[in-house]
């Protein structure tokens, strides 16, 4: 099953804007996305929710002219949602590629933070099946990264995952969640003494 999953990913690969966008040299750049954890960054980005909603609307409105079916892998076109995510990635947003402050954290702690973030998003989305893929794909990424010894490469993979996460959330039915909705989920779990 793992081999089938990796083969499918290689078969339907979508470039995250110019193959070398996240080169090793980029890791030397100064962070430009606030937040000491992925959740804090998500809260900061929630203040830009209207921009993300406009991006999703513009992509849908400009659909046929800007993104003809022939310009995408045929498997993405029939998949529907994956094609929509690919168009959002192609349209891009500056936050997709901004280097997060938290990227300097250790891999193990950051992986746990990413699981927390994916779980919060799933709860905020009221169990949206597509947003659930953030949790399952992060698990798949974690399994693949067990074969990698270099922490720089692992952090690089989490940075690319962060970009894909943003594109998926922008594309999802509910759009980018509001700060209030995110904070309510975090507060509810804290009040109950539960970790997300």
pLDDT tens for each residue of 100-133:
888 888 899 999 999 999 999 999 988 888 888 8
Q: How far apart are CA 137 and CA 66, in angstroms?
A: 28
For residue 100, the SS3 value is strand
Q: Per the structure block, which two tokens stand in for 77?
A: 């076109």
By CB atoms closer than 10 A (0-12, 13-18, 19+), residue 102 is buried
For the ranges 63-67, 80-84, 154-158, the one whose mean pLDDT is highest: 154-158
DSSP state of 98: S
pLDDT digits (tens, 9 = 90+) for 4-33: 655 655 555 555 444 445 554 555 667 688
DSSP 127: S
Q: Which residue has the higher pLDDT, 196 or 42?
A: 42
The answer on pLDDT for 167 being more than 70 is yes
| Length reported for the chain | 196
CA distance 191 to 174: 26
């Amino acid at each position: 099953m793992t081999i089938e999953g990796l083969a499918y990913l290689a078969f339907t690969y979508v470039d995250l804007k110019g193959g070398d966008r996240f080169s090793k040299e980029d890791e030397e750049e100064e962070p430009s996305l606030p937040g000491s954890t992925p959740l804090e960054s998500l809260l900061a980005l929630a203040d830009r929710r209207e921009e993300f909603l406009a991006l999703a609307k513009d992509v849908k409105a400009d659909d046929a002219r800007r993104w003809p079916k022939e310009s995408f892998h045929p498997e993405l076109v029939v998949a529907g949602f994956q094609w929509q995510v690919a168009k959002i990635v192609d349209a891009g947003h500056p936050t997709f590629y901004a280097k997060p402050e938290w990227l300097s954290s250790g891999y193990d702690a950051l992986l746990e933070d990413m699981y927390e973030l994916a779980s919060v998003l799933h709860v905020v989305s009221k169990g949206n099946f597509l947003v659930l893929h953030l949790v399952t794909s992060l698990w798949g990424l974690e399994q693949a990264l067990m074969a990698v010894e270099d922490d720089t490469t692992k952090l690089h993979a989490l940075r690319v995952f962060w970009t894909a996460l943003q594109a998926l959330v922008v594309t999802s039915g509910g759009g980018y969640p509001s700060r209030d909705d995110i904070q309510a989920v975090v507060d509810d779990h804290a009040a109950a003494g539960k970790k997300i």
